[in-house]
Chains A and B, each alone.
Chain A
Amino acid sequence: MNNQLAWWTIWFLILVLSAFIVPFTFLSGVYKVTGAFLYWGVFAIVAIISVGIITSKWGNGR
């Protein structure tokens, strides 16, 4: 496994684990749109941007 792949794997492990843990712990008592709803929305946008960065250098490969 190359270095970049290893770093991105660790980053996504942290990101995805946070999507399991944070809403069920820190935000479980927050009954507002700015709680779990917002957290998951931001989580998804960060994931989309991260995938955008990973794929940004893909060559044409024809």
Chain B
Amino acid sequence: MKASYIYLTVLAYFLLGTIVALYAKRNMVRDVSDFFIANRTISGFVAALTYSATTYSAFMLVGLAGLTYIGGVGAWGFELIYLSGLVLVAFFGPRFWLAGKKYNYITPSELLGDRYQSKGLQVVTAVGSIIFLIPYSAVQLIGIGTLMEGMSGGAIPFMAGLLIATFVAIIWAYIGGMRAVAWTDSLQALIMLIVSSVSVLFGVYGAFGGFGGLFASLEAKCPEWLAVPGPGYFNPATFVALALPWFFFSLSNPQVSQRLFIPRSLGAMRTMVMGFMVFGFIYTFVSIVWGLLARLLLPDLPSGDLATPSLLALNIIPISISLLVLVGITAAAISTINSIILTLSSMVSQDILKAMNPAIAESRLFNVGRLFVPLFAIVAFLFASLKLGLIAVLSVASSAGLLVIVPAIIGAFFWKRGTAAGAITSIVIGGIVAFWFQFGGVKPLGWGPGVWSGIIATVLFVVVSLLTTPPREKAEEFMTYINGALKENNAI
């Protein structure tokens, strides 16, 4: 594909997004709450789309399609188990939202720090998130660089793709904070869903005459891909190690749990949850069908990661649609990266600067927090350009590494006996275990890091909490308020 086509399409996407970001910015107030969580005023529709675009990254159409290519429908299963994990938002969403409104929390770590009465916990949670999420963002950037380089036949160098992606990720978030990110995310979510669905329909109808033909071909030519373990990749241990941390994604990842603060009402949060689940179901289906198409049409690829680029290069999908898919994948990556860097910047502002110096001026918090948007993006760019093996390890370990925060979150709302010491110990040691097991390939009893980090964090949280003194007064006041407000709002 000609590089000029790609440059022009990406330019059009950038200009459209910038117009949307500037429009979204018109109501922005220069304070921390507005910049990072849009002053809790986001409508249900926009909240659903920003939640979707933030959650679903380039992993879906590239990684998940690749996993389907090598392992079959097990990929469908673990991704849908993740989707079912949104029940956690049905349980915890109103709790986060009510607590956020009452105590003016801007980050999830602020909630934990206040509930357990510990600035140390707040700082530890923020630092842990930065350690695992910057490499995750870097991997998204690498994905865009690789895709542009591959689709242009090398005419767009890897570094040019990286620079473009970093620039776009910075601009919108820097212009208008959460308002701009939420609105551009909405645009990008629609692009992601529409272009991926259209391209899959082209593939399915062009090559097989429809879904009936596709499924009949699968049953005839590669039936193992329709069962688990099937071709072998999705054995029970691998499946559990993938699915378990993902089930808790909506609580463990701060860039999505922070979105529980942004809806303007609980009614808007309901629209957010339901809209996201429908979006997720369709987008997952499309990504899986993409991988199955590649399996049937290109059975001899050396690796699953090549499934999507190779399929796009086939002549069954028109070049214009392939270009749009490239934009769709870029949009998926950018919308995840800029949400992450905005969340991490809010953590620097609220969880590190303000926690260490409560007297700090609001304007200073705003300025420093905003400055960290480009800084974090540049760090992710530098990591991506180095292509260090360590980055990939940290990125893969991120789901297991962030899972360790979940016991403390559950305890905050349901266990008065939980303590800051228990939370800090579980997060620090659980995080180290996640990294160590991932880096060293350690798999006791055959289970992966995502299982062990969760178990170890839970045990440590409970045991250390029982051995230390809880903040009784705060726990009582916090939980009494939340339980009363839940009743008033008909939430369970």
Where the two chains meet, the residues of A that have a C-beta atom closer than 8 Å to any C-beta of B are: 1-2, 4-5, 8-9, 12, 15-16, 19-20, 23-24, 27-33, 35-37, 40-41, 43-45, 47-48, 50-52, 54-62
Stretch at the interface among B185-193, B271-279, B440-448: B271-279
Is A59 in contact with B73, judged by CB distance below 8 angstroms?
A: no
Within 8 A of A (CB), among B220-262: 223-224, 226-229, 236, 239-240, 243, 247
Is B227 in contact with A61, judged by CB distance below 8 angstroms?
A: no
Output the residue of A12, A15, A33 with the most chain B CB within 10 A: A33
0/1 string, B326-347, CB within 8 A of A gives 1 = 0000000000000000000000
Is A61 in contact with B266, judged by CB distance below 8 angstroms?
A: yes
CB < 8 Å neighbour of B274 from A5, A44, A55: A55
Chain A residues near B74 (CB-CB < 8 A): 23, 36
Is A44 in contact with B80, judged by CB distance below 8 angstroms?
A: yes
Stretch at the interface among B161-169, B297-305, B450-458, B483-491: B483-491
Is A8 in contact with B83, judged by CB distance below 8 angstroms?
A: no
User: A1 to chain B: closest CB distance in Å?
Assistant: 7
- Size category of the binding interface on chain B: 35 or more
8 further interface pairs, Cβ-Cβ under 8 Å (given A19-B77, A20-B81, A48-B274): A5-B91, A8-B87, A28-B228, A37-B226, A41-B76, A50-B87, A54-B87, A58-B270
Q: Which residue of B lies closest to A52 (CB)?
A: B274
User: A57 to chain B: closest CB distance in Å?
Assistant: 4
B218 sits at the interface (CB 8 A):
yes
B23 sits at the interface (CB 8 A):
no
Within 8 A of A (CB), among B434-492: 485, 488-492
B86 sits at the interface (CB 8 A):
yes
Interchain CA distance A32-B73 in the complex, whole Å: 11
Chain A residues near B130 (CB-CB < 8 A): none
Q: Which residue of B lies closest to A30 (CB)?
A: B227
Is B229 in contact with A19, judged by CB distance below 8 angstroms?
A: no
Interchain CA distance A43-B74 in the complex, whole Å: 14
CB < 8 Å neighbour of B73 from A5, A40, A51: A40
Is B265 in contact with A4, judged by CB distance below 8 angstroms?
A: no
B90 sits at the interface (CB 8 A):
yes
The 22 listed contacts between A and B (C-beta, < 8 Å) are A5-B91, A16-B81, A16-B84, A19-B77, A19-B80, A24-B229, A30-B227, A32-B219, A36-B226, A37-B73, A43-B80, A44-B80, A47-B87, A50-B87, A54-B492, A57-B491, A58-B266, A58-B270, A58-B489, A58-B491, A60-B267, A61-B266
Is B489 in contact with A36, judged by CB distance below 8 angstroms?
A: no
Is A47 in contact with B227, judged by CB distance below 8 angstroms?
A: no
0/1 string, B80-112, CB within 8 A of A gives 1 = 110110110111001001100000000000000
Is A55 in contact with B228, judged by CB distance below 8 angstroms?
A: no
Chain A residues near B5 (CB-CB < 8 A): none
Interchain CA distance A36-B227 in the complex, whole Å: 6
Is A32 in contact with B80, judged by CB distance below 8 angstroms?
A: no
Is B281 in contact with A59, judged by CB distance below 8 angstroms?
A: no
Chain B residues near A5 (CB-CB < 8 A): 91, 492
- Count A-B contacts at CB 8 Å: 139
Chain A residues near B73 (CB-CB < 8 A): 36-37, 40
Question: Would you call the interface of chain B mostly helix, strand, loop, or mixed?
Answer: helix
Output the residue of A5, A48, A55 with the most chain B CB within 10 A: A55
Chain A residues near B76 (CB-CB < 8 A): 36-37, 40-41
Where the two chains meet, the residues of B that have a C-beta atom closer than 8 Å to any C-beta of A are: 73-74, 76-77, 80-81, 83-84, 86-87, 89-91, 94, 97-98, 215, 218-219, 223-224, 226-229, 236, 239-240, 243, 247, 264-267, 269-270, 273-274, 277-278, 281, 285, 414, 485, 488-492
Q: Which residue of B lies closest to A39 (CB)?
A: B77
CB < 8 Å neighbour of B215 from A23, A33, A47, A50: A33
Chain B residues near A36 (CB-CB < 8 A): 73-74, 76-77, 226-228
Chain A residues near B239 (CB-CB < 8 A): 20, 24
Chain A residues near B281 (CB-CB < 8 A): 44-45, 48
User: B417 to chain A: closest CB distance in Å?
Assistant: 14
Chain B residues near A4 (CB-CB < 8 A): 492
Q: Which residue of A lies closest to B278 (CB)?
A: A48
Is A35 in contact with B226, judged by CB distance below 8 angstroms?
A: yes
Is B236 in contact with A24, judged by CB distance below 8 angstroms?
A: yes
Chain B residues near A37 (CB-CB < 8 A): 73, 76, 226
User: A17 to chain B: closest CB distance in Å?
Assistant: 10
Is B270 in contact with A40, judged by CB distance below 8 angstroms?
A: no
Is B227 in contact with A59, judged by CB distance below 8 angstroms?
A: no
The list of the 6 closest CB pairs from A to B, nearest first, reads: A31-B223, A47-B84, A61-B266, A57-B490, A59-B489, A44-B80
User: B81 to chain A: closest CB distance in Å?
Assistant: 5
